[in-house]
Chain A
Amino acid sequence: MKIIDAPPSGPVPYEREFALKLLTDMLRIRRMEEKSAELYGEGKIRGFLHLYIGEEAVAVGALHALESRDNVVATYREHGHALVRGVTMEAIMAEMYGKQEGCSRGHGGSMHLFDARARLFGGNAIVGGGLPLAVGLALADKMQGVERVTACFFGEGAMAEGAFHESMNLAALWRLPVLFCCENNLYAMGTAIERSESQTDLCAKAASYDVPTLRADGQDIVSVHETTQRAQREVRGGRGPFFAEYRTYRFRAHSMFDAELYRDKREVEEWKTRGPLHTFSARLKAEGKLTEEEFLALDREVGAEVDRAVAFAEGGTWEPVEHLTRGVYTNTETEREGT
C-alpha cells in the first residue's frame, strides 16, 4: 500500500474522561514497549520481542468496546492486549524478564501472556493457532447458555492459514459468538499482503463464509472503537460470528532480529504521519479536551508506571531450577512429572 490515506481527523465523539482513558492506554502500551526494546538491548529481555508500536489504536479501541466478561484470544504481538485487559504492567514486565512473578510465571515470555482473571487465553505464537480455540470457547459459552463474546485477534498473515478458513466455516456453521479481529498491518513478517493473498480484500474473503464484515481505519481509534461496538453488538445479538478488519501498520521491525529489507523506509515514515497516538492527541487538543501540559503530565504518570514495572521485574525472583519439571500436568505442581 504505497498511497495511504490522510491522517485520522474529525470530531472525537466521546466524553473527555473516556477519550483520555483511550489516549492513556495507547500511551501506556507505547511507553512500556519503548522501554522493553531498550531492555532488550541491555539483555534484560531475551527471546522474541514483537512490538505493537504503531498499532496501539487497534487493541485499545477494540478492547474498550468489549466487556470484562468477554474472552480474548491474542497473538504473539499481544503486550497491548494484555495491558488493556487489565494485566498489570508489573506482571507483563516480570514475564518478559522471565521472573516467576510474571503473569505466566516466566514460562511464557513476551509471546505467551496469560491471565485467567482477565479471560486472556494467550499469547499464541503459532500463526492462526488461536482461531480454533476461540471457536471452541464460543461453543462452550453457547452450549452453557453464557452470553459472552470471544474476541480473537490475528494478523492478515493468518488468513493464508487453513486454520482461518476452517475456523470461519465452523463458527459460521454453528452460529458461534466469535468476533474475528483481523489486525491487517500489511506484512506477514516480511511478506507483503499482495505477495501472499490472491484476494487482498480481506472482508470479501471473510464474507464468503456468510459472515458479516466491517472495515476500520486501525490508525483511528474512533473508527476502531465504533466498528468494534457495532460488531460486538451483532455477535451478542446471537446471530453468529463477525469479522472486523483493522487496517494498521507496524512502525517497528517484526521482531528484534528483523533488518527490514522488505519495505521502504519512506513507506514507514509516511505511515508514521498516521500514528494513532499523536493524531488522536492532536484531535483532543483541537477540541479543547486536552492541553499540552495535561498531555505531558499524563506522559509523566505513564513513565512512572513503567518505572514501577521495571523495578518490580528487577526485584522479581527466578523460579528454582528444582521446579523445572513441575506444572507440566495439572495438580502436579509439587510432584515430579511422570514421563
Chain B
Amino acid sequence: MGRLSYREGMRQALREALAGDPRVFLMGEDVGRYGGTYAVTKGLLEEFGPERVRDAPLSELAFVGAGIGAALGGMRPIVEVMTVNFSLLALDQIVNNAALYHHMSGGQFSVPLVIRMATGAGRQIAAQHSHSFENWYASIPGIKVLAPGTVEDARDMLAPALADPDTVVIFEHAQLYNMEADVPEARNTDIRSAAVRREGKAVSLITYGGSLPKTLEAATQLAEEGIAAEVVDLRVLRPLDMATVLASVRKCRRAVVVDETWRTGSLAAEIIARIAEEAFYDLDAPPARVCSEEVPIPYAKHLEEAALPQPAKIVAAVKAALGR
C-alpha cells in the first residue's frame, strides 16, 4: 500500500464510505469548503457535492442532534465535531438521545451514527482547546467509543463503526494527524479488541490514542536499559477489551496505564480498578498511572509539556513499579 499519514488514512476511509453507500453523508463545521479544520475532509466536497459533504453552522447541539435524527430516519451520517472541547455543547444529544434511544424505546429504534472528533493537547492552544474527555464518553452505556492510535486503525476502523447499528464516537488525537506509517492494504478490522503493539514481559503499558506513540517511545528507551515493556493499545474504549489487558498484566505482573485525561476519574482509574478487581493476586507491584496533571492545560510550552504524559514520565513510572 505504501506510506500514508493518519489524516490520509481517515480521508481514504471517508471517501470509501461515501462512495460505497448512498446513505452515508458528512456533516459538521467547515468539513466542506474549508476542507476540514484538520484537513481530513479536504477534496471530498468536490468529489461528493454539498448535499453529502454538508457544512453546518456553529450549532453543535443541533447538528449532532440532526445526525441522530437522520440516523433514525434511515441515513448513515458521519458527524464531525471539530474538537472534543466543542462536543460539550452537544453532550445532551449524545448522552440523552443517541445513547438512550435503543433501550428507552424498548428496542424499537437504533441510532446508527458515527461522531468523529479531534481530541487532546500538545499544540500550545491553551486550556479551552486542549481537553481530553474520552473517559466521560467511555462511561456511557449505549454508545461505543474508539480511539485509533495508528495510521492503519485511522483508515480501517471507520468501516466497522459505520456498519455498527449503534452510535460510535471516534476520537482522533490532533497530534496524530501528521503521523506517517507504511501500511498494508486496507483490511477488515474489528471494533471489539485491544492490540498488543509491542511484546515484553517486565511491565504492561496500557494506553490508547495520542499517548500510544509516547508510550512506544518510552518502551524503546526502557529496552535500551534492558527492561522489556509490553504495550497494549486499547483501540476501543467502550466496550473495553479487558481480556487482552488482563492477559498482558498477568504475564508481566506489573501495570502502568498511560492516559491523557485528567487523573481523577480518568480512564486509567477505571482500568486500574478492574485490574485490582480481577488480577490483584497476579500483581507484583501496585498498578500505576501516568495522566495529565490536574491543571488547566497552560499555553506556555514548558508548562504544557509538564502537564501532559511524556515518555520520561512513563519511564519513571515503570522504574518505580520495578523498584529501580
Contact between A136 and B92, CB atoms less than 8 A apart: no
Q: With A and B bound together, what is the CA distance between A136 and B98 in angstroms?
A: 12
Q: Does A31 contact B (CB under 8 A)?
A: no
Binary CB contact string for chain B from 107 to 133 against chain A (1 if under 8 A, 0 otherwise): 111100000000000000000000000
Select the stretch in A167-175, A187-195, A197-205, A304-312 that faces chain B: A167-175
A100 to chain B: closest CB distance in Å? 8
Select the stretch in A103-111, A210-218, A255-263 that faces chain B: A103-111
Contact between A126 and B74, CB atoms less than 8 A apart: no
Given contacts A124-B97, A144-B75, A331-B165, contact A162 B106 (CB under 8 A): no
Q: Does B62 contact A (CB under 8 A)?
A: yes
Contact between B68 and A133, CB atoms less than 8 A apart: yes
- Most chain B beta-carbon neighbours within 10 Å: one of A112, A131, A135: A135
Q: With A and B bound together, what is the CA distance between A329 and B165 in angstroms?
A: 8
Residues of B within 8 A of A112 (CB): 104-105
Given contacts A122-B101, A170-B56, contact A102 B69 (CB under 8 A): no
* B62, B73, B144, B239: the one within 8 Å of A167 (CB): B62
Q: With A and B bound together, what is the CA distance between A13 and B2 in angstroms?
A: 73
Residues of B within 8 A of A140 (CB): 69-75
Contact between A329 and B62, CB atoms less than 8 A apart: no
Select the stretch in A34-42, A113-121, A231-239, A289-297 that faces chain B: A113-121
Contact between B69 and A163, CB atoms less than 8 A apart: no
Contact between A132 and B107, CB atoms less than 8 A apart: no
* B64, B108, B238: the one within 8 Å of A132 (CB): B64
Given contacts A173-B57, A330-B166, contact A132 B75 (CB under 8 A): no
Closest Cβ neighbor of A132 among chain B residues:
B65
Residues of B within 8 A of A121 (CB): 69, 72, 109
User: How many residues on B have C-beta within 8 angstroms of the other chain's C-beta atoms?
Assistant: 44
Q: With A and B bound together, what is the CA distance between A337 and B240 in angstroms?
A: 11
| Complex interface residues of chain B between 39 and 84 (CB less than 8 A to chain A) | 51, 56-57, 59, 61-75, 77
B255 to chain A: closest CB distance in Å? 19
Q: With A and B bound together, what is the CA distance between A104 and B103 in angstroms?
A: 9
Q: Does A141 contact B (CB under 8 A)?
A: yes
Q: Does B313 contact A (CB under 8 A)?
A: no
Contact between B71 and A136, CB atoms less than 8 A apart: yes
B238 to chain A: closest CB distance in Å? 7
Residues of B within 8 A of A124 (CB): 96-97
Q: Does A333 contact B (CB under 8 A)?
A: yes
Residues of B within 8 A of A106 (CB): 106
Residues of B within 8 A of A136 (CB): 65-73, 77
Q: With A and B bound together, what is the CA distance between A166 and B92 in angstroms?
A: 14
Contact between B106 and A131, CB atoms less than 8 A apart: no
A329 to chain B: closest CB distance in Å? 5
Residues of B within 8 A of A329 (CB): 102, 142, 144, 165-166
Contact between A104 and B105, CB atoms less than 8 A apart: yes
Contact between B65 and A163, CB atoms less than 8 A apart: yes
Q: Does B261 contact A (CB under 8 A)?
A: no
Residues of B within 8 A of A133 (CB): 65-66, 68-69, 72, 93, 97
* A102, A126, A139, A327: the one within 8 Å of B66 (CB): A139
Given contacts A107-B104, A108-B104, A115-B108, contact A166 B62 (CB under 8 A): yes
Q: Does B25 contact A (CB under 8 A)?
A: yes
Contact between B69 and A114, CB atoms less than 8 A apart: no
Q: With A and B bound together, what is the CA distance between A337 and B192 in angstroms?
A: 12
Residues of A within 8 A of B106 (CB): 102-108, 114, 327
Q: With A and B bound together, what is the CA distance between A176 and B192 in angstroms?
A: 37
B270 to chain A: closest CB distance in Å? 10
A70 to chain B: closest CB distance in Å? 12
* A105, A129, A162, A338: the one within 8 Å of B107 (CB): A105
Residues of B within 8 A of A108 (CB): 104-106
Q: With A and B bound together, what is the CA distance between A29 and B103 in angstroms?
A: 26
Q: With A and B bound together, what is the CA distance between A164 and B118 in angstroms?
A: 27
Contact between A328 and B96, CB atoms less than 8 A apart: no
Q: Does B296 contact A (CB under 8 A)?
A: no
Binary CB contact string for chain A from 126 to 155 against chain B (1 if under 8 A, 0 otherwise): 100101111111111101100000000000
Closest Cβ neighbor of A136 among chain B residues:
B69
The 3 closest A-B pairs by CB, nearest first: A136-B69, A132-B65, A140-B73
Question: Can you list 11 A-B pairs, Cβ within 8 angstroms, ordered by A?
Answer: A104-B105, A112-B105, A124-B96, A129-B97, A133-B72, A133-B93, A163-B65, A163-B92, A166-B59, A327-B103, A337-B141
10 additional contacts, CB 8 Å, given A114-B109, A170-B56, A329-B166? A103-B106, A114-B104, A136-B68, A136-B77, A143-B70, A163-B92, A167-B62, A330-B110, A339-B141, A339-B238
